[in-house]
Amino acid sequence: MVPPIRNSPMDTLSSKERSARMALIRSVNSKLELKIRREIHRRGYRFRLHRRDLPGIPDVVFPSRNKILLLHGCFWHGHNCKLARLPKSKREYWIPKILANRKRDGLVRRRLRALGWDVMTVWECQARDLPHTIDRIEKFLRFDREPR
């Protein structure tokens, strides 16, 4: 079941201002990605970025460990937190878009797992407590799953 997406106050920007702001949003090398990657690299982990040969082009790939980190922005991926509040304007656009993103995320996770990868999703809101988030990532990277 998909948790509800929360509402936000009315959009106060004009169409041009909103368009300019949306154009600034990055799909790779976001602040979240850079923050997480910097810390895990500092702790000695080596990884590959955005492997195009894998479903969904995962954000951070640890080939020797068969592990993948998916770093999700709460708004874009429809997390059930205060960062994911849906705009009140153009809801007929945003609701299907966010739901489609969530559906695609689930499909990507299933396809990666079917290929033998262990997958961990890190949400933007979780990264606010960076030391705790990095500790969780380290536990994920150290844990060896039993063969299927």
β-pair partners for 62: 67
Whole-model pTM: value is: 0.78
What is residue 61's predicted lDDT score, i.e. its pLDDT?
A: 97
Mean pLDDT, rounded, of the chain: 86
22-43 average pLDDT score = 82
94-118 average pLDDT score = 96
The CATH architecture that domain 27-142 belongs to is: 3-Layer(aba) Sandwich (3.40)
111-138 average pLDDT score = 96
What is residue 148's predicted lDDT score, i.e. its pLDDT?
A: 45
Tokens of 147: 């063969």
Domain definitions of the chain by residue range: 27-142
pLDDT digits (tens, 9 = 90+) for 38-97: 999 999 999 999 999 999 999 999 999 999 999 999 998 999 998 888 888 888 998 999
Taking the C-alpha atoms of residue 132 and residue 84, their distance in angstroms, rounded to an integer, is 21
Model confidence at 138, pLDDT cuts 50, 70, 90, reads: very high
Please check the confidence at residue 24 and state whether its pLDDT lies above 80: no
Task: Count CB-CB contacts under 10 A for residue 126.
Answer: 19
Please, is 31 exposed, middle or buried when counting C-beta atoms within 10 Å of its C-beta (0-12, 13-18, 19+)? exposed
Tokens of 113: 């797992």
Please check the confidence at residue 19 and state whether its pLDDT lies above 90: no
Taking the C-alpha atoms of residue 33 and residue 146, their distance in angstroms, rounded to an integer, is 29
What is residue 84's predicted lDDT score, i.e. its pLDDT?
A: 85
Structure-model confidence comparison of residues 143 and 27, the more confident one: 143
